[in-house]
Structure 1
Amino acid sequence: MTTDSIEQLLVEGVQELYYTEQQQVDALDALAEETGIQAVSHAFASHREETEAQVQRLEQVFEAMGEEPEAREDIVVTAMLDEHDKFAGANDGEVLDRYNMGMGQKTEHYEIAAYGNLVSLAEKTGHDEAAELLVETLREEQDALEELTEASEQFDEQQIASD
């Protein structure tokens, strides 16, 4: 990928997050269904609804930047989804539950880093409205990570207590 300006780097980053969030809508549905832990399943399901709103917010970001919404594949996200599909096809039960929690946390960390970077780029290029919208989603991703981390810790405590 050759990018010749900070502005283009911002646009391509938003395109990749647009792809990421669209992919997450379907992935979160699957994670909520295949996870046997109520708190974690609920965290995935509620974040799915939030993710749908984030897709719409990214469309507002495009509009604020004077760009048409366009998804650009993020190969990291594609690889994580492929990795999950392979693992879920070969595992179930507690192992899959723990894997899904870890994958959810990994995804949230990735999105937090991406949104944080784009906020900085939007501010640097004078796209203040876009930056505000991106900050809103960044905060939601941070909250989702916290909720998932708490649910994972509760799961671990329950597993230790039952052993």
Structure 2
Amino acid sequence: MGTIMKTFTTAKSPKRQEKILHWRNEFEEQLHQMYWCELQLAQALPKLAKLATSYELTSAILAHLAVTENQIIRLIHVFDAIGERAVGQRCPELETMMTAHPDFEAIDSGYERDREIIASAQELMQFEVAAYGKLHLLAVNLNEDLAAEFLALAIKEEKNAFARLTEIKLSSIYFDAAS
């Protein structure tokens, strides 16, 4: 018996079943979008790491690339658990953010470029925390325990990466700028 049937058998009223079906559709759509987002980020992060000037920033970006690759694998497991194919679906919000960031190559290397890279990366991470948070809530409401566990881990990872970039921004880069 699939997850959808498990969810529906616990629902008592047709109105509740309708709400659960809406949540299920929203969950699956956003899961496909998040998968697409992570695939796009996995392609963008190595390029961003090459443009970074600070060793600490380059290391943090490459470390986040490894986290992103693990998140992709976990999303594939979530798709398997809910009986869906892991296929990405364009995410308009992420596309807008990625096209809106400055042309990093046009910015002189050093403090200014690293500052812009950090600002753009943190904006993307805030988006990911919000998107994973919504997915997590839907997974909990749908009794998708494995998905909820994996999505909670992704939220924690994104928050940790954001904090790491904040540390870099407040330490080495600003120290270098003051020198």
Partner-residue secondary structure (3-state), 1:5 = helix
Deviations 1:82-114 (A, max 9, x none): 223x52243232322110010111111110011
Aligned-partner Cα distance in 2 for 1:37–1:147: 14
What is the match of residue 16 of structure 1?
33
Assess, with a 3 A threshold, how the Cα gap between structure 1 residues 92 and 26 changes in structure 2: closer, same or farther. Answer: farther
Asked whether 1:149 is paired with 2:166, we answer yes
TM-score (norm 2): 0.83
Q: 1:37 is matched with which residue: 33, 37, 54?
A: 54
What is the match of residue 108 of structure 2?
92
Could you list the runs of 5+ residues in structure 1 that have no partner in the other structure? Answer: none
Deviations 1:49-99 (A, max 9, x none): 111111011001111111111101111211222223x52243232322110
What is the match of residue 13 of structure 2?
none
Q: Percent identity?
A: 30
How do residues 27-106 of structure 1 correspond to structure 2 at under 5 angstroms? Answer: 27-84=44-101, 86-93=102-109, 94-106=111-123
Aligned-partner Cα distance in 1 for 2:177–2:51: 22
Aligned-partner Cα distance in 1 for 2:167–2:105: 26
Asked whether 1:109 is paired with 2:141, we answer no
Aligned-partner Cα distance in 2 for 1:42–1:80: 23
Letter in 2 for 1:138: I
Letter in 2 for 1:21: E
8 Å CA contact 1:108, 1:142 repeated in 2 = yes
Could you list the runs of 5+ residues in structure 2 that have no partner in the other structure? Answer: 1-20
8 Å CA contact 2:114, 2:173 repeated in 1 = no
Asked whether 1:118 is paired with 2:135, we answer yes
Asked whether 1:129 is paired with 2:146, we answer yes
Aligned-partner Cα distance in 2 for 1:122–1:73: 21
* 1:140 CA displacement: 1.0
Aligned-partner Cα distance in 1 for 2:59–2:105: 22
8 Å CA contact 1:37, 1:97 repeated in 2 = yes
Aligned-partner Cα distance in 2 for 1:89–1:79: 19
Residue range with higher mean Cα deviation, 148-157 or 101-110: 148-157
| CA radius of gyration, larger in | 2
Aligned-partner Cα distance in 2 for 1:105–1:26: 17
